[in-house]
Amino acid sequence: MPGGAVLSSNDDVERIEAPITFKAYLICAFASFGGIFFGYDSGYINGVTGSQVFINTVEPFGSKTLSGPHNSLIVSILSAGTFFGALLAGDCAEFIGRRPTIIAGCLIYIVGVILQTASHGLGLLVAGRLIAGIGVGFESAIVILYMSEICPRKVRGALVAGYQFAITLGILIASCVDYATESRSDTGSYRIPIAIQFAWGLILGIGLFFLPESPRYFVKRGKIDSARKALTSLRNQPPHSEYVEAELAEIVMNEEHERALSPSTGWFSSWANCFKGSLWKQQSNLRRTILGTSLQMMQQWTGVNFIFYYSTPFLKSTGAISNAFIISLIFTLVNVCSTPISFYTVEKFGRRPLLVWGAFGMLICQFLVAIIGVTIGFNHTHADPADPTASLANNVSAVNAQIAFIAIFIFFFASTWGPGAWVVIGEIFPLPIRSRGVALSTASNWLWNTIIAVITPYMVNPDQANLRSSVFFVWGGLCTCAFVYAYFLVPETKGLSLEQVDRMMEETTPRTSSKWRPHTTYAAERARAGGEKLDLEHVDDVERKGSIY
């Protein structure tokens, strides 16, 4: 190995990473563009399924709406694809790398978009959405992993939060495209919203060719020189910069430490490692995997998808809303405009306070919407004298108050749990299981997304449970669970390198984690144990024994 193969140990915990440069911001900001996939694909389908031209394509001519089974299949098949795509991506990211896996996801996504655009019936459309879903699963899991591994530690939370902002932008763009094409009388009313997705895959896929691979992936594969080159590019430092050498030494020593704790002997054992350790110890792999998957479960339990997909029809049925699109657009704009607040707060106050107080704000809003609704609001309507089949709200002001508290709920979600859950899952896993841990966490998000989408109609349909405003008691109760969960189980990771997060989780509990400060480095400990110099070329023969699992 040239030049800097032998390093002086660095015991300065503040000098394990180079100063932040504008180039680092640009690289990470571009990677977050992948959130557009997630947001747009989730958002456009609601407008498409309402297009009469699309309905005539799928249903027998003359039908005014999609049948329940067809609507459910078209909407939910994407989530099925993303669930399995996220799990497959965990393996791909280990074997071929983070960046190539995202590029592969873009290609899969583009194939799915082409099939959907070319479809003339249900079969090809469903196949296209399934394939596109696999691509979205690749992207949604590995973009978070990639960003967490390349972002500078002091702004990692803000930059990863940019992924959630890109999701909200995707939803907004989808709403605008649907609105612009809804009045078309030709197949462009649904082909245009579908085809625009092609651009997102093309932009991200081509752009990633010019970005470096994650240095932590190279270290895990034992390619130390490649890791050094990637760090040099990411940190915009000269070759063999002391900052690059210090960060590289810390990554290598941490990888060796974690690999000794969880040795991997094959594909099965590499997955089994995600579930090793004690449930009662914060640093165990099992505890981290449960934390990541349950965080994404809790994010879905907040009821945010119910708000976006079902609250507007709820409120419209009272006659208090004349234009459902305007209310939907207001909710979407609140979502978009509130998310950037987290860029500042996630680094200023930390991840843990955001999740704790965000859940508290959400539960207050949900319970207020429920209480107003069952007392004087949405649940109290009367027949419209001009149209006996329609209903009018007894108290329009009360319904407007419900709308206001729903908007405030969206503010709390978008500025806290929306980005916060993604930030934390990218930080809590040790390198040997990181790609699979993030993949499992993302798959959990999509699994619960699907479950809630399936059960919600049964909760609110007039011919089923017909909970009406009482459904917000359910979401309020689940937000209460999220509040208690965040207080007792979520650690603080603000301002720490991924290697320091590992050390913090070994030495603290979630409630004491915010007081923890780095006091040494893995590289310095290794140097003290074996001498004054750290020879990367001969550290446990890492160049020759890097695990492919």
In terms of phi and psi (left: phi > 0; alpha: psi -120 to 50; beta: otherwise), the region of 318 is alpha
Confirm if 276 and 265 have CB atoms less than 8 A apart.
no
Q: Given pLDDT bands bounded at 50, 70 and 90, which one contains residue 377?
A: confident
Q: Taking 80 as the threshold, does the pLDDT of residue 481 lie above it? A: yes
Buried b (16+ CB within 10 A) or exposed e, 514-534: bebebeebbbbebbeeeeeeb
For the ranges 1-10, 102-111, 294-303, 494-503, which has the lowest average pLDDT?
1-10
For residue 204, give every residue at least 6 positions away whose Cβ sits within 8 Å of its Cβ, in sequence order, or none.
33, 34, 36, 37, 102, 106, 139
Task: Tell me the percentage of the chain whose pLDDT exceeds 90.
Answer: 41
Confirm if 415 and 364 have CB atoms less than 8 A apart.
no
The span from the CA of 135 to the CA of 78, in Å, is 10
Confirm if 441 and 142 have CB atoms less than 8 A apart.
no
Which of 452, 317, 464 lies closest to 379, judged by CA? Answer: 317
The torsion angles phi and psi of 437, rounded to 5 degrees, stand at -65, -45
Q: What residues does 535 pair with on adjacent strands?
A: 6
Which of 312, 488, 482, 511 lies closest to 412, judged by CA? Answer: 482
> CA 520 → CA 21, 245, 523, distances in Å?
25, 16, 9
Q: Given pLDDT bands bounded at 50, 70 and 90, which one contains residue 455?
A: confident
Which comes out higher in pLDDT, residue 123 or 62? 123
User: Could you give the count of Cα atoms lying within 13 Å of 308 in the half-sphere of its Cβ?
Assistant: 29
Confirm if 416 and 358 have CB atoms less than 8 A apart.
yes
Could you identify the residue written with the tokens 């989730």?
Answer: 42
Confirm if 367 and 355 have CB atoms less than 8 A apart.
no
Confirm if 360 and 483 have CB atoms less than 8 A apart.
yes
Mean pLDDT of 363-367: 96
Buried b (16+ CB within 10 A) or exposed e, 438-460: bbbbbbbbbbbbbebbeebeebb
Residue 10 confidence (pLDDT):
56
Q: Taking 60 as the threshold, does the pLDDT of residue 4 lie above it? A: no
Which of 14, 32, 164, 23 lies closest to 496, judged by CA? Answer: 14
The span from the CA of 73 to the CA of 367, in Å, is 32
Confirm if 426 and 144 have CB atoms less than 8 A apart.
yes
Which of 62, 35, 55 lies closest to 163, judged by CA? Answer: 35
Which comes out higher in pLDDT, residue 334 or 255? 334
Which DSSP symbol is given to 459? H
Tokens of 5: 């193969």
